[in-house]
Structure 1
Amino acid sequence: MDSVQRTIRLLYNGHSQSAQRFRYALVTFDAATILYFIISAAFEQTTLIWALDTVLGVLILCDLVARFWISENRRQECLKLYTIADLLVVASLLLAPIFTDDLAFLRILRGLRLIHSYHLIRDLRRDSRFFRLHEDAILAAVNLFVFVFVMTSLVFVVAFDDTAGPAGYIDALYFTVATLTTTGFGDITMTTPGGRLLAVFIMVVGVALFVQLARAIFQPSKIRHKCPECGLNRHDPDAIHCKHCGETLKIETEGSNGA
């Protein structure tokens, strides 16, 4: 049993080519499930979708069990936001056949799978130099992406009935983006107090996320590299000394091809 645990730990945390391929396969699976939940939220539940949901629920549960088994701090692992979100998603997938009459709250729970995007970011930070160079902009884009589609799922559940289908989901996405950007076309509006409070929340948080994304794109990029002296971990990509303490830095760089 210990050898099996060691093998799984090496696949999740090792540096071999097989471990890297395994992790990229997990990243592909996570991205595919996120895309599937975004698309399937608009469609009526059928036997085929329920069967696919069950398979995905089992696979996600297996991934969670494996991560928990090899974790050195299992309590901390259980308290991570994306772990809690994935547990709720698994519950929504495996319990879907029981709640055949009202799947509204299940759609919202499945939207939480988007939170797993932040777990993908951790893997990319470890394996991709391009990601490390542009982490702030990518993280800000992910924040906005997660917020838009979680809010779209919530608007779709609150303002549209189960028969609205893909057209209703597109309307929910349109309302979310129009509200988030404060465009306010007015062709789709919330009429209930709860709906209007939701619109206010989308506007306030959405504007903040847009500003964060714009700042990350246009401000000078930083790279994560911990200073051995003072611990400052954000520096210019070509920094030679730490701006805080003056310690010499050894940041890996490809240099410039220019003359």
Structure 2
Amino acid sequence: MTPVNHHDLKPAAEGLRTRVFQIIFESDTPLAKGFDIALIGVILSSVLVVMLESITPLREAYGDWFIRLEWGFTLLFTVELAVRLYCLERPWQYLKSFYGIIDLIAILPTWLALIIPGVHSLVVVRLLRTLRIFRVLRLMEFVGEGRLLLGALMRSSHQIFLFLFTVFMLVTIFASLVYLIEPAEAGFTSIPTAIYWAVVTLTTVGYGDITPVTPLGQAISVMVMLIGYSIIAVPTGVFSAEVIRSIRADRYSDEACPGCGYDRHEKNARYCLRCGTWLDEETPDPRLEEQREDGDDTPPGAS
């Protein structure tokens, strides 16, 4: 899948195709923004129809209407995709992009339903097309923040994996103990079933479908729940620490001040926060130039 930016796409030719391209692929005009907002509304409406169709009483009462609406949405999206490809200089470039693949997947389930019954329910993937709202509402700058969080998650993946592995070992041990202690009538018919109970108990969800009935088993349950409360903050702390480290790395420079050695300056800082020394050693300090022109030889920052 090629991550094609809308700015990399070009219209096929001057005239009608260029005007259509400006409406469909750009959002800096009222007409283009209105098209995107209307498209998002139609996408949400099509997903709502699929959700309502899954309700048995509504499907029995309005099944024919749901089918007509679904085919209407599919034909509309098919025409829209055809128009998108029509106005592009290289339509295959768009089809291989993220949005192009999503647009194609959005219409395939209904057409495939003619061959494979039941596939049309997959049209809920159309909800992914609402990602265009980032472009409409000028929210693309938040993509950088998302990448920061994803990068922090990737860098803390080893610690989180080690934590999850430790939790899995604890769950397996406690589940095996409870399986040996509790009777089968209590629901602990196998170790995998006991592991399910241990996970539910450790996460403090407590469905109550399987519960220990012996005093020792209940004591183990209390222990598992207390452990769950005590360790639930571990992955959050690891991830938060990595996010803070990423923010600092993105905001602060690791270059030390040539005057005092202080190394906690913001990347756009020009003078040392502690001693006032000019930080860029490759260029002259503009304040020195000004002082020389004024005949003042006192070093900057000196009292």
**TM-score band, normalised by the shorter chain?**
0.3 to 0.5
Larger Rg: 2
- Please report the TM-score for the alignment, with normalisation by the length of structure 2: 0.39
